[in-house]
Each structure stands twice: as C-alpha cells, then as structure tokens.
Structure 1
C-alpha cells in the first residue's frame, strides 16, 4: 500500500511518456547529425530502426496504448545507445546516451 505522498513508479503517466518522447526524439536528432562517415551504412540501419520505433510509439500513443508507446520508445533509445557505444555516432552527451561527455 502506498501513501498519498509517494509517487507510483510502475505507471506510465502522461508526464513520464512526454518526457521520454522528448528525450528520445532529441537523441535521435543529435544522432542524425553525428554519423561517423566511415560507419555510414551501419549508422543508417540503427537510425532507421530508431525512427521506426519512435513512429510506432506515436501510433500506440495516438491509439490510447501508452504502455506499448513507452516500450517502443525504450527500444528506439536502445538502438541509439547501441549505435553510440558501437561508434556509429559521434555523440558525447551522457544525458541522452550511455557515453562519456567530452
């Protein structure tokens, strides 16, 4: 049982979903502008998958399924993080990616 002052962490609130849409879309935009030329083909694959999952997230949200929207955003961000860690994108923002800042 939770009291009135505790915050539920197992619920996808509209605020939480909006935050994750914003973070993921910001990371996607940054990654698009930071493709390592020698890894262009692989980077495009990762970006394509991330874009598809973001699109899916919008579709799920528009159809009232915020749980699936949240899941799709996490998959999208996973593709972006993997691309950053594998050296597909020259990104150095630990707020958006699992990389070190410069």
Structure 2
C-alpha cells in the first residue's frame, strides 16, 4: 500500500514556498493583524446549510467555538500573554476554515478563508 504524498503548490496560500525570515516572537503588530483578519472573517461568515439540516447544528457549534476562542484571545491579549492569545486566534480561525471546508459556512473571500 502506497501513501500519497501531499502536494505543495508554488502558489499555495496555505503553505507558500517563498523564502521568509524565521520569526521567533509574536509581536503586537502581528497579533493585531490576525485579530483583524479573524474579526472580519467572523463578521462576513454566513451559515450555508438550512436550519433544519443536521449540519446546521455543526455550523452553530463551529461558530460558537470560533467566537469563544476569539474572546479568549482578547482576554489573553489584554493580560499581555501574546503566545496564548495567538494560539487562541489560530484555533478560532481553524474552526472558521474547517466550517468553510466542510461546507457549513460560506467563505468565498480567499483573504479571510483558507478554502474560499
């Protein structure tokens, strides 16, 4: 049995190939950028499934999780814990992107959604 290797595309928005300097810290500037992107994604997000669909509950759960992690990120940011704030933002956006990928959210803006 052969395992398929993941393809890395030159124009990938998820895993860009171009050389970048290694970042070893989470700056306030970087945090503010990702807060803004996630905030815009949450504001633009629409549930794509009918409310009587079983997947509607999945969409609601993913949205609740994304909003909760975003709120957690704000809490940790205010406390000065940039690492935990950044982690929470990544979880928030992970739920958003997973919902788009699953098809329970509309996400057509590729600046805000990984699979838009």
Same fold (TM over 0.5): yes
- Give the conservation status (yes or no) of the 8 Å contact 2:72–2:85: yes
Q: How many angstroms apart in 2 are the aligned matches of 1:10 and 1:24? A: 22
Aligned structure 1 segments of 4 or more residues deviating by more than 2 angstroms: 37-40
Matches of residues 16-35 of structure 1 in structure 2 within 5 Å? 16-31=30-45, 34-35=46-47
The structure where helix makes up a greater share of residues is 1
Shift of 1:8: 6.0
Unaligned runs of 5+ in 1: 1-6
Structure-2 change in CA distance of 1:14 and 1:8 (3 Å): farther
* Cα RMSD, aligned residues only: 1.6
TM-score (norm 2): 0.74
TM-score (norm 1): 0.84
Unaligned runs of 5+ in 2: 1-20
1:14 aligns with 2:15: no
Among 49, 57, 61, the alignment partner of 1:37 is 49
Q: How many angstroms apart in 2 are the aligned matches of 1:97 and 1:10? A: 25
Among 44, 65, 82, the alignment partner of 2:98 is 82
